[in-house]
Amino acid sequence: MNTVTIFLLFFGSNRFRMNKKLIISALFIFIAVTFNSCEALNSCKICKQVTYIDGAVTHEGGESEYCDAALIAIETNPDFIDGNKRISWECR
């Protein structure tokens, strides 16, 4: 057998196709683990609680930095409304 025949037997065989599928699968899993969605959770913002009465600001709480799950909880928290008084979170 010459080298061309060995090359064609190896790269033309089903074994190479299976190895190719395994390599592609392993590469896909590596990329998925490396660049997962949790990477975006490392963001932080500075937020404060603001009280409005009749649309005018009456009180602003102190600013604090919130990150990850605490920031998500604040941003998804709806405004508290009681008559003409509204308390909300503002982040920058």
* Residue type, position 47, single letter: C
- Taking the model in full, what pTM does it have? 0.53
Please give the pLDDT value at position 48: 96
Nearest in space to 90 (alpha carbons), one of 67, 59, 63, 58 = 63
Q: Any idea which of 27-36, 45-54, 59-68, 70-79 has the lowest mean pLDDT?
A: 27-36
3-state secondary structure of 62: coil
Band (pLDDT 50/70/90 cuts) for residue 2 is: low
Domain boundaries, the chain: 3-35, 40-91
β-sheet bridge partners, residue 60: 50
Strand stretches in 4-92, DSSP E: 44-53, 56-60, 64-67, 80-82, 85-91
Q: What is the DSSP string of 3-14?
A: HHHHHHHHHTSH
